[in-house]
Homo-oligomer: A and B are copies of this chain.
Amino acid sequence: MSIESSVGKAFAPGHITGFFEIHDDPDPRRKGSTGCGVVIDGGIAAIVTPGEEKTEISLDGVSVNADTTRSLIEQIVDLPVHVECTSSIPIGCGFGASAAGALSTAYALNDAFSLGLTSNQLVEAVHIAEVSNGSGMGDVEAQYFGGVPIRKVPGCPPYGVLDRVPSPSFEVHCIVLGELSTGSVLNDGGFMREINSAGRSALRSLLSRPTIANFMELSKQFTLKCGLASDRVIDAIEAVGAAGGMASQAMLGETVFACSDGSVKEDVLEALSTFAEVTTYNVTSCYQHPG
């Protein structure tokens, strides 16, 4: 029930991108990316209350700038607010944390201040905050849609067009090997042309055979083609392949995500754990959980 109150709580899930193509546009609502990824049951929970003199945002108890969330807040409320975020995904590692933080904050603000906005209006505000800050280009659309979203046309609703790889829930196993800044990659023009060409070709192939196995294979090919992967990332991807599973790099993060059918799961987990601690998430058909 959405009862008027001065406290709002919400959750938004993380999103791991397998491959993508960036689309520029003078209208921020149409700017964004196409591609495919998985929405997971780890994400960011936000608790929002009215603030005092200025807006304060904390993440897992530590005061943070959180530029994307701050831009989002400025768009939809004209008051100082206090936002407490807790995260069950790594930050800055390709899990779409900036969008998840801003989206959970948007849902919570809508509730706390009875803003009367629809989900699409909240998603639009987060999308604009993301593309203005260069922190992400399509995570929020995926996160509000759930499952294994295919972003066919870039932008927030109603401009963007989404589809899904049909799939029941399944597990993804993740290892984080370091950090990678989305902004620094997205601002290199020559590099982006190669990425875009690889992303466009992967999307075309996925739409002709939209299965999880093909998504994982196309993501791996994209990773190898676009040259963002460190040697350790490539080693981990190959180790999972040798164990009978499928793995790729989370875009954009120094992170490897893997899945497998049940029969080789233990071998895949063992292969990953030689590189770093493994966290397992469920790919969820849920776009939003209670706060």
Residues of A within 8 A of B (CB): 1-3, 9-11, 107, 110-111, 114, 116-120, 122, 144, 146-147, 150, 157-158, 161-170, 207-213, 259-261, 284-291
Question: Is the Cβ of B118 less than 8 Å from the Cβ of A2?
Answer: no
With beta carbons under 8 angstroms apart, the residue of B117, B165, B166, B287 that contacts A146 is B287
A167-B2 CB under 8 A given contacts A285-B146, A288-B147: yes
Measured in the bound complex, the distance between the Cα atoms of B211 and A208 in whole Å is 39
Question: Is the Cβ of A208 less than 8 Å from the Cβ of B170?
Answer: no
Measured in the bound complex, the distance between the Cα atoms of B116 and A207 in whole Å is 9
With beta carbons under 8 angstroms apart, the residue of B116, B260, B285 that contacts A211 is B116
With a cutoff of 8 Å between Cβ atoms, the chain B residues found around residue A289 in the complex are 168-169, 285
A164-B1 CB under 8 A given contacts A146-B287, A289-B169: no
A164-B286 CB under 8 A given contacts A211-B2, A213-B3: no
A166-B210 CB under 8 A given contacts A146-B285, A285-B288, A286-B285: no
Measured in the bound complex, the distance between the Cα atoms of B168 and A1 in whole Å is 8
Question: Is the Cβ of B286 less than 8 Å from the Cβ of A170?
Answer: no
With a cutoff of 8 Å between Cβ atoms, the chain B residues found around residue A144 in the complex are 164
| 15 more CB-based (< 8 A) A-B contacts, given A3-B261, A122-B166, A168-B291 | A1-B213, A1-B261, A2-B165, A2-B166, A2-B213, A116-B208, A117-B210, A118-B166, A119-B163, A119-B165, A120-B163, A157-B162, A158-B161, A284-B286, A285-B288
Most interface-central of A117, A162, A261, A288 (chain B CB within 10 A):
A288
Q: Separation in Å of the A205 CB from the closest CB of chain B?
A: 12
With a cutoff of 8 Å between Cβ atoms, the chain B residues found around residue A107 in the complex are 166
